[in-house]
Amino acid sequence: MTVPVKIAANIAVVGAGTIGLSWARLFASHGMTVRISDPRPDLAAAVAELPGDIRIAASVDEAVRDADVVQESGPEDLEFKKHLFATLVRVAPAHALLLSSSSAIPSTAFTADIEDAGRILIGHPFNPPHVLPLVEVVPGERTSEDSVQAAVEFYRSAGRTPVVERKEIPGFVGNRLQNALSREAAYLVEQGVITPSDLDTVVTSSLGIRWATTGPFLASHLGGGPGGYRHLMNHIGASMRRIDLGEPSDDSEPLIEAVEQAYGSAPYAELTRSRDRRQSAVLSALELN
């Protein structure tokens, strides 16, 4: 049985890659005490760059021993998650909420052999979690309703926008949508229709702005004028369905080279800072309306 999570909770972050470090930064910025664990040799240097009360734990056991919430952000590997969550159930306090940042693997897949699976569920962010507000909260087949509500309360206390999904599906919702667009984007570049940078401009100058303010369904509903979504589908739905989407090649090397040609010369840190500034500006603008 989980308990509602307070803002001043003790948080364990297991895994200090890009997502884990971003989670730690977010939780610490909301006054939480964060203990982070990862075998990477440069963990101290990586954590030193982050603001807030973030402490390095020598092991997973040490990180989770007093945790109210554990946010796992390890490899996207089923066997790894099976082993880790079996350990978390054994070592973390009985009230601790056990959350996975899994990008595609539902929690039921790695909790089948775990007796105390009621407090395990997915809390999948969009990168970077300290900037983008969405968290997909996805319960497994044995996740308790108390745990779902505790996860929602916890993420809200960290300034996030949790959305509870009603059914497990690989990739959840956000990544499935992203994957569909990414596959067509790859196909269009491979076919020589457009370059990677120009395709990005198409998205950021149209769909990105539209969907940031409405989402696909509301945008379509408004696109139908006073008749709404029904009018839009009756008017252009058939022609849109006749567009056959492309299938990108299994050989991704030419596409990788095209993207590297577009962006590979710019320093990663510079691109990341620019992305975060722009996304923060969009979020600030949305809060004004």
Q: What is the CATH number of the domain that holds 253?
A: 1.10.1040.10
Q: Which two tokens stand for residue 158?
A: 């960290």
Task: Taking residues 178-199, report their average pLDDT.
Answer: 97
Task: Taking residues 175-191, report their average pLDDT.
Answer: 97
Per-residue pLDDT at 48 exceeds 80: yes
113: confidence class by pLDDT, cuts 50, 70, 90 = very high
| Pairs from 193-196 (Cβ < 8 Å, separation ≥ 24) | 195/258, 195/262, 196/258, 196/259, 196/261, 196/262, 196/263
Q: Can you list the alpha helix ranges (DSSP code H) found in 108-158? A: 145-157
Mean pLDDT of the chain, nearest integer:
94
Could you give phi then psi for residue 16, rounded to 5 degrees? -120, 45
pLDDT tens by residue, 63-84 = 999 999 999 999 999 999 999 9
Q: Is residue 169 part of a domain?
A: no
Q: What range defines the domain where residue 220 resides?
A: 174-287
Report the distance separating Cα 288 and Cα 258, nearest Å: 38
Sign of the alpha-carbon torsion through 117, 27, 156, 65? positive
- Look at the chain and report how many structural domains it folds into: 2
What single-letter amino acid sits at 141? E
Radius of gyration from C-alpha coordinates of the chain: 21
Task: Report the percentage of the chain scoring pLDDT > 90.
Answer: 91
Q: Is residue 5 part of a domain?
A: no
Tell me: do 102 and 184 sit in the same domain.
no
Q: Is residue 258 part of a domain?
A: yes
| Cross-sheet strand order for the sheet of 33-37 | 54-56, 33-37, 10-14, 69-72, 97-100, 120-125, 134-139, 161-164
H-run or E-run covering 75: none
Task: Taking residues 169-187, report their average pLDDT.
Answer: 97
Tell me: do 222 and 243 sit in the same domain.
yes
- Note the pLDDT of residue 255: 96
8: confidence class by pLDDT, cuts 50, 70, 90 = very low
Catalytic residue among 79, 115, 136, 184: 136
Q: Is residue 194 part of a domain?
A: yes
Q: Is residue 4 part of a domain?
A: no
- End-of-domain residue from the set 103, 137, 164: 164
Q: Is residue 60 part of a domain?
A: yes
Tell me: do 96 and 195 sit in the same domain.
no
- Note the pLDDT of residue 7: 47
Q: Give helix 253-263 / helix 174-190 axis angle, nearest 10°.
A: 90
Tell me: do 160 and 178 sit in the same domain.
no
Tell me: do 142 and 15 sit in the same domain.
yes
Give the contacts of 272 (CB within 8 A, at least 6 positions apart): none
Tell me: do 153 and 17 sit in the same domain.
yes
- End-of-domain residue from the set 144, 164, 184: 164
- Note the pLDDT of residue 265: 86
Tell me: do 144 and 187 sit in the same domain.
no
According to DSSP, the β-strands at 54-56 and 33-37 are parallel
Minimal CA–CA distance to 124: which of 248, 22, 250?
Answer: 22
- Note the pLDDT of residue 5: 53
Q: What is the DSSP letter of 246?
A: P
Q: Is residue 2 part of a domain?
A: no
According to DSSP, the β-strands at 33-37 and 97-100 are unpaired
Q: Which two tokens stand for residue 13?
A: 């972050």
Tell me: do 180 and 160 sit in the same domain.
no
Q: Tell me the β-bridge partners of 56.
A: 36
Question: Is 165 among the catalytic positions?
Answer: no
- End-of-domain residue from the set 164, 189, 212: 164
Per-residue pLDDT at 174 exceeds 50: yes
Per-residue pLDDT at 190 exceeds 50: yes
Task: Taking residues 213-242, report their average pLDDT.
Answer: 94
Phi-psi region of 222 (alpha: psi -120 to 50; beta: other; left: phi over 0): alpha
Tell me: do 81 and 55 sit in the same domain.
yes
pLDDT tens by residue, 231-272 = 999 999 999 999 999 999 999 999 999 999 999 988 988 999
Tell me: do 195 and 104 sit in the same domain.
no
- Domain of residue 69, CATH code: 3.40.50.720
Tell me: do 132 and 157 sit in the same domain.
yes
Q: Is residue 191 part of a domain?
A: yes
Across 96-100, 113-117, 264-268, least confident range: 264-268
Per-residue pLDDT at 108 exceeds 50: yes
Phi-psi region of 89 (alpha: psi -120 to 50; beta: other; left: phi over 0): alpha
286: confidence class by pLDDT, cuts 50, 70, 90 = confident
Tell me: do 59 and 35 sit in the same domain.
yes
